[in-house]
Amino acid sequence: MTTLDTTPAGRFWDGIGIRQVQLVCGLILFAYVTSHFINHAFGNISVQAMDDVLALQIAFWRSWPITIVLYGALLVHMALGFWSLYRRREFRWKISEPLQLLLGLSIPLLLIFHVTGVRIAASVFGHEKLYPQTLYAYWVYWPRLAALHYAALIVCWAHGCIGVYFWLRLKPFFQTASPYLLAFAVLVPALATIGLYHGAHDVMEASTSAEWLAQYRTVAKTGTRADQDVLDRIVFSFIWGYLALIALTLVARVIRVLSERRGSTIKFVYGGGKTLRVPKGLSVLEASLRNDIPHSSVCGGRARCSTCRIRVVSDCSRLPAPSKREAFVLERVGSSSDPAIRLACQLCPETDISFVPLFPATLKTSLLNTGQQTRVGQERYLVNMFVDMRGSTKLAETRLPFDTVFIVNRFVGAVSQGVISCGGMPNQFVGDGILALFGLATDPRVACRQAIKAAAMIAINVDELNQFLAHDLREPIRFGIGIHCGEVIVGDVGYRDHISFTALGDPVNVGARLQDMTKALSCEVVLSEELFKTAGLPESALPQEQVSIRGRNETMLVRKAVSARALLDLIDDVTVIAA
């Protein structure tokens, strides 16, 4: 069992895997590329403006600490790219993933002439190649380099944008932000390439004069023929060395694949009875994809979405322990205490294993059908409310089935009305229990306040229902409500035609447990402390209790409201927005 550090710092480090390191390094490089592109865009003003901004860029990016961070990020990002090339067994997720790897591997080849001519030349020979010298070299002296330079720009930008897209697409704000991100992704390179073109034309015109050449093409700035020979040798050595490294990695990959094929195999038994023989070392998700077995994997195997989760039904003690990252993700969705729940994209069994995927593979199909990101799987902060009707079992025993269904339906209607009137969404109905979600269209504070007000509205509606059915009921309908909030995954879950939008994750489980607790605490509503605090209620508004939650090691602070109706006095400013 992998134990996680529960301190904030420990949780932070536990959440970091190879993908996260690669992402941070990529973001540093993307920041550099963006600032460089913005610099190019100043060519739309003048070459002098480009040089003025370049002076600021050099002061920042060539300072020692930033140089170390930048080149460190570059080396780590490249090394992890090679690791990906070596290790990745399946490239079937989407065309964008192998494309991104291919673009990333081609960047050093496309950029080496530029990096050597400008950066290495400055460090080794003290050349001072600013925009006039560089644009002259690419557009006048070696015109073919202009095309190569443009290709490098486009490839770098596309690679960075794909990486940022994979990073942000599961974030709650992505849908709102996507038009702006798209505008940024299009405008920055467009302005940069047009700026370069304008700058290059100014340089081409100016360079017809002898004075310009005498001023800008001096030996001190551009170096000698001998310097250039050395730089050319560096470029060619790098290209050959880099190609050799790629070839070596591919050879290592082939050797690994062959040895896997010759090596021992293990058996994967899927829930439906399907059995595969796969080489040791393959992850469960890779085995599914390799054998065309649909398996949901919204994040593409990056240990982020948890939609590839499986329940192992064979002996769990023989499985390798989860990595820190896997344990972190499982803990986030409330599955860390159950050793049978694992991430298929991270689990590489060494022995035979039987398991059941927990999410329908149609999750992926629904993405293609609906094209709605939220419905495929998205992390977001939501409030979940569980409402349960008390005594419905007894009701069913003492009444005709028709009566029972009628009363339960009226109860569900009363609850749903209360939820909707406060801006929430009745989401799941399980018998006489209801899960409602708040915060799909509001910020967390408003969502928490909406949920609290909804609890009061439910009480009012149920009171009215009790009056309406007074002659029919031996005792009034009672209920329990549990409300909690936190980061959950929302998306479509189900099978074939029975797919519905819902929320998954630890906060949802906790909400259900809080509802159970209303009986033990003799109250109508139990709110988590987090919800209470996020709603911004005064400390004295509700009594605090420390409770143990089933399936959790630590105790939890909650607030209890004996009467749900009384909560109305606490909330009077809720903005009702239809979810």
By beta carbon distance, the residue nearest ligand FES is 345
Is position 559 an interface residue for ligand FES (rule: CB under 6 A)?
no
SS3 of 389-403: ECCHHHHHHHCCHHH
Q: Strands 353-357 and 265-270, how do they pair?
A: parallel
The position carrying tokens 């001190």 is 220
Candidates 343, 512, 567, 571: give the one binding ligand FES (CB under 6 A).
343
Q: Of 264-272, 299-307, 383-391, 519-527, which part binds ligand FES (CB under 6 A)?
A: 299-307
Q: Which is nearer to ligand FES, 306 or 362 (CB)?
A: 306
Is position 345 an interface residue for ligand FES (rule: CB under 6 A)?
yes
**Measuring CA to CA, which residue among 374, 313, 317, 305 is closest to residue 345?**
305
Q: Strands 433-438 and 425-430, how do they pair?
A: antiparallel
Separation of alpha carbons 15 and 379, rounded Å: 15
Least CB distance to ligand FES at residue 326 (A): 8
Is position 308 an interface residue for ligand FES (rule: CB under 6 A)?
yes
The position carrying tokens 């928490």 is 448
Q: Which amino acid is at 126?
A: G
Least CB distance to ligand FES at residue 288 (A): 11
Candidates 306, 442, 515, 534: give the one binding ligand FES (CB under 6 A).
306
**Measuring CA to CA, which residue among 493, 494, 527 is closest to residue 510?**
527
Is position 70 an interface residue for ligand FES (rule: CB under 6 A)?
no
Least CB distance to ligand FES at residue 315 (A): 22
Q: Backbone dihedral region of 383: left (phi > 0), alpha (psi from -120 to 50 degrees) or beta?
A: beta
**Measuring CA to CA, which residue among 40, 62, 61 is closest to residue 51?**
40
The first and second tokens of residue 185, run together, are: 């992704």
Question: For the stretch 237-268, what's the b/e string if a residue is b when 16 or more beta carbons lie within 10 angstroms of its beta carbon?
Answer: ebeeeeeeebeebeeeeeeeeeebeeeeebeb
Assess contact for 459 and 564: CB atoms under 8 A: yes
The position carrying tokens 């405008």 is 187
Least CB distance to ligand FES at residue 269 (A): 20
Assess contact for 395 and 407: CB atoms under 8 A: yes
For the chain, the distance separating the N- and C-terminal CA atoms, rounded to the nearest angstrom, is 40
Q: Of 61-69, 79-87, 208-216, 303-311, which part binds ligand FES (CB under 6 A)?
A: 303-311
Q: In angstroms, what CA-CA distances link 32 with 67, 115, 532?
A: 11, 13, 43
Q: Which is nearer to ligand FES, 333 or 558 (CB)?
A: 333
3-state SS assignment for residue 265: strand
Q: Of 122-130, 201-209, 301-309, 459-467, which part binds ligand FES (CB under 6 A)?
A: 301-309
Separation of alpha carbons 515 and 482, rounded Å: 4
Candidates 108, 301, 439, 486: give the one binding ligand FES (CB under 6 A).
301
Q: Which of residues 410-469 bind ligand FES (CB under 6 A)?
A: none
Assess contact for 561 and 523: CB atoms under 8 A: yes
Least CB distance to ligand FES at residue 490 (A): 15
The position carrying tokens 């291919």 is 102
Q: Of 115-123, 216-224, 255-263, 304-312, which part binds ligand FES (CB under 6 A)?
A: 304-312
Least CB distance to ligand FES at residue 370 (A): 19
Least CB distance to ligand FES at residue 296 (A): 8
Candidates 84, 288, 307, 362: give the one binding ligand FES (CB under 6 A).
307
Q: Of 226-234, 292-300, 435-443, 446-454, which part binds ligand FES (CB under 6 A)?
A: 292-300
Is position 17 an interface residue for ligand FES (rule: CB under 6 A)?
no
Is position 303 an interface residue for ligand FES (rule: CB under 6 A)?
yes
Assess contact for 271 and 304: CB atoms under 8 A: no
Least CB distance to ligand FES at residue 91 (A): 15
Is position 304 an interface residue for ligand FES (rule: CB under 6 A)?
yes
Q: Of 42-50, 67-75, 129-137, 302-310, which part binds ligand FES (CB under 6 A)?
A: 302-310
3-state SS assignment for residue 302: coil
Is position 299 an interface residue for ligand FES (rule: CB under 6 A)?
yes
Secondary element (H or E) of residue 325: helix 324-332
Over the window 246 to 265, marking each residue x when it contacts ligand FES by CB under 6 A and - when it does not, the resulting string is: --------------------
Least CB distance to ligand FES at residue 139 (A): 46
Q: Of 6-14, 191-199, 295-303, 315-323, which part binds ligand FES (CB under 6 A)?
A: 295-303
Least CB distance to ligand FES at residue 307 (A): 6
Separation of alpha carbons 113 and 129, rounded Å: 13
Separation of alpha carbons 330 and 164, rounded Å: 24
Is position 134 an interface residue for ligand FES (rule: CB under 6 A)?
no
Least CB distance to ligand FES at residue 377 (A): 8
Is position 367 an interface residue for ligand FES (rule: CB under 6 A)?
no
Candidates 121, 161, 305, 488: give the one binding ligand FES (CB under 6 A).
305
Q: Backbone dihedral region of 306: left (phi > 0), alpha (psi from -120 to 50 degrees) or beta?
A: left
Over the window 371 to 400, marking each residue x when it contacts ligand FES by CB under 6 A and - when it does not, the resulting string is: ------------------------------
Residues that bind ligand FES (CB under 6 A): 297-299, 301-308, 343, 345
